[in-house]
Amino acid sequence: MALEQSIVSGSLNPAAVKVLRNTYTLLSLTLVFSAAMCAVAMAVNAPYMGLWMLIPYIGCLWMVEKNKNSTAGLFWVFALTGWMGFTLGPIINFYLSTSGPQLILTALGGTALIFFACSSYVLVTKKELSFMGGFLMTGMIIAFIAAIANVFLQIQGLSLVLSCIFLLIASGVIMWQTSAIIHGGERNYISATVTLYLMLYNIFVSLLHLIGMRDD
């Protein structure tokens, strides 16, 4: 795995290596669990939940933050990522029925490529990117609010722009979070895992939207 090779061959301090390894291990497990929950949602033909999905999402996210320094935090990480995977089921079913599996595979490949490119860049160059934190968080909040508003406005052009913005911001957050780990700004692998997972989720959904619109 390219990321592991970068960690081993690099000159990172032991604490950073430990956090990275724990983060990538937990992230891998949550992605597998999320995919399983997505498959369950697809199998039972679960309906698209729209904004209602935010209620369990916010609740689980709050519990993760509250318990991130204890083993209970692991339970809530899987609760959060399992729920997010379940909400993907109806979305993937829609694109499978309208565009076929090629779109899904392309979005998955693009998500993996973006993640490895962003993470590897920071691990190899060891860039210190803490200055990006405020800008990225502000941009994410604004884009999130705009996305909620567009659920009611239904402006297709705005939807396209927001997908591009989410894609760019999520890529930036992956680099920022990786930099925070290797430079000591993040020592909690539960928090790091959740951040990276949510960015992967945003990238995947944004790519689905963008590629789907292109095909249409």
For the segment 2-17, what is each residue's pLDDT rounded down to a tens digit?
444 444 445 678 888 8
Q: What rounded mean pLDDT belongs to the chain?
A: 90
Helices of type H across 99-155: 101-125, 133-153
Q: Is 126 left (phi over 0), alpha (psi -120 to 50) or beta?
A: left
Nearest to 54 by CA among 93, 84, 90, 33: 84
Tell me how far CA of residue 23 lies from CA of 20, 178, 190, in angstroms.
5, 10, 7
* Token pair belonging to 181: 């780990």
The 3-state DSSP class for residue 194 equals helix
Domain residues of the chain, as ranges? 12-215
Q: Is 10 left (phi over 0), alpha (psi -120 to 50) or beta?
A: beta
Question: Are the C-beta atoms of residues 118 and 174 closer than 8 Å to each other?
Answer: yes
Which one has a higher pLDDT value, 155 or 96?
96
For the segment 32-47, what is each residue's pLDDT rounded down to a tens digit?
999 999 999 999 999 9
d(CA 75, CA 62): 13
Which one has a higher pLDDT value, 215 or 33?
33
User: Averaged over 48-59, what is the pLDDT?
Assistant: 91
* Token pair belonging to 31: 């992605």
114 Cβ contact partners less than 8 Å away, ≥ 6 residues apart: 167, 171, 174, 203
